[in-house]
Structure 1
Amino acid sequence: MVGIAIPVITGCASPATKTERVAADSGMTGLLLVGSAFSHSAFFAEGRGDDLHVYLSGDGSPWIDEHRIAKDPTPRNPVALRLMALDPRPRLYLGRPCYHGLTDSSACDPWLWTNGRYSEEVVASMTHALEEFIQQQDFRNVVLIGYSGGGVLAWLIAERLEQVRLLVTLAANLDTDAWTARHGYTPLLGSLNPAKRAALPARVRQLHIAGERDANVPPALIQTALNSAGSQAIVQVLASDHRCGWQDHWPSVLRAISRIREGQRDP
């Protein structure tokens, strides 16, 4: 079995239960998907259309401060899930290893949400879980939508998953080396860096969106990352900072996604 439906909890507001509350309020079904090495918490909602929109969250809170690793890295503010709630298409929120209440799993280690947050192990397991889901549900075309660090993972999954037709990133740190250097963070030596990889396959169109007031991942950092990766992509800058403003713009972004996908279907 690829996925197991799980009840959505609406109790006290830990990061995991806060995410579950947002999902429950939006009528999403909680799932547990099995990847190549980890289990992945996920949420699914049916909708109109043939494409599956897959949402990937930001890094959350890997660290409490510069010396202490968080026990639970789950995002305190589930931005990607809130955006997914506004989407009328069939959609899946795919969680990372050890996030959303799975931190105590035997395979989990803090390395997976710190230096190894974009590692081969993480990307391979998420890709496997998603591939099994789309085959079971018979989706032939996938739009990957990654917010912040989720955009890094979306890029790395798009390299491997043949059904991906469009990659959409929001405020994504696509050059992880430049991003850590900018902020004085520890280099993510166990992670893959999109800016150092080959260009994505021609089948994958790209839409990268930056926030004009984003001090965490400023527009120039995104554009430079795309230049160094040799990417042919659409880049938009919206009136947003790193965390706030995305929901206001999301209906227009969804319309842009639809236009790009309709263009891809043209003969």
Structure 2
Amino acid sequence: MSGCIGGRLQAQREAAAHVASKAGWQRSNLDAGPFELVSFAPQGLQRTAVLTVYIEGDGLAWINGSTPSLDPTPLNPLALRLALRDPSGAAVYLARPCQFVTGAQRRGCQRKYWTSHRFAPEVIEASSSAIEQLKQRFAAERLVLVGYSGGGAVAALIAAQRRDVMRLVTVAGNLDHRTWTADLQLSALDGSLNPADAWQRLQSVPQIHFVGGQDGVMGESVVESYRARFATGPAPTVRVLPTFDHHCCWVERWPDLLGEAGL
């Protein structure tokens, strides 16, 4: 089984690089402290006042209900596909720790970082460091963070720590992992920060959260639990797409949904 999955992951790494390269995007590896994080960015992008950063989901965290994966590289990197559909020309992609890396690039890659500690403080700090490097590279002044699934949690937790995030957008985002694990009877993410607990620091961040009405992986209860935490001030905007699930049909509709997000 591991050999078969390893072959699929290698094929997916090559496929992702090919899709990005075909679109004129170039890979770079960012030194983010305990991890080396992979990014893709348009080759022609030089300077932009506002940089949109797409953050990948959890990827292949588990092979089955009891067996964690050896490598969390996503078989379907949906956040990358969303980034490639962004019409602004000022979007970049950021993978999660241990995704798309091999050999010495896999430093710090303990299984806990795609299971119980997937949103650990050191993960958020490393991801924010990588984003800062991208911001400096493109001389950006402000950021838009777009997170898919578990990448939505990372995006929210980063936005809670920074003061340069002008908009937070999530797609099927894991914004309250305690509700998520309770709903699906999964192991608690005991080593992870929870975005819902950071609601006070997110009050000033304009945000919209897209949810699929048919999503059996990250249901509406997760984002509603998050929104309910905003006891004062305006609650975050939630947009439910009745026929969408965890994977369909975000990429196809993405330019239109960006318009709804004011981007």
- CA distance in 1 between partners of 2:68 and 2:180 (Å): 19
> Structure 1's 202 and 68: CA in aligned 2 closer, same or farther, altered over 3 A?
closer
Cross-structure match for 2:99 = 99
Q: How many residues align?
A: 249
TM-score (norm 2): 0.88
* CA displacement at 1:30 relative to structure 2: 0.4
Cross-structure match for 1:6 = none
- CA distance in 1 between partners of 2:156 and 2:145 (Å): 8
Moved more, 24-33 or 195-204: 195-204
Cross-structure match for 2:66 = 67
- CA distance in 1 between partners of 2:150 and 2:119 (Å): 8
- CA distance in 2 between partners of 1:146 and 1:121 (Å): 18
Cross-structure match for 1:265 = none
* CA displacement at 1:17 relative to structure 2: 1.9
- Write the mapping of 1:1-267 to structure 2, written as runs, cut at 5 A: 14-45=11-42, 46=44, 50-89=49-88, 90-102=90-102, 105-230=106-231, 232-238=235-241, 239-257=243-261, 259=262
Q: Partner amino acid for 1:17?
A: E
- CA distance in 1 between partners of 2:203 and 2:229 (Å): 17
- CA distance in 2 between partners of 1:213 and 1:233 (Å): 21
* CA displacement at 1:63 relative to structure 2: 1.1
Verify the 8 A CA contact 2:179 2:225 in the aligned structure 1: no
Percent of aligned positions that are identical = 35
Verify the 8 A CA contact 2:149 2:174 in the aligned structure 1: yes
- RMSD (CA atoms): 2.1
Moved more, 110-119 or 229-238: 229-238
Q: Partner amino acid for 1:208?
A: H
Gap runs ≥5 in structure 2: 1-7
Provide the secondary structure at the position in 1 that maps to 2:30: strand
More helix by share: 2
* CA displacement at 1:41 relative to structure 2: 0.6
Q: Partner amino acid for 1:194?
A: P
- CA distance in 2 between partners of 1:159 and 1:39 (Å): 23
* CA displacement at 1:197 relative to structure 2: 2.4
Provide the secondary structure at the position in 1 that maps to 2:167: strand
* CA displacement at 1:21 relative to structure 2: 2.1
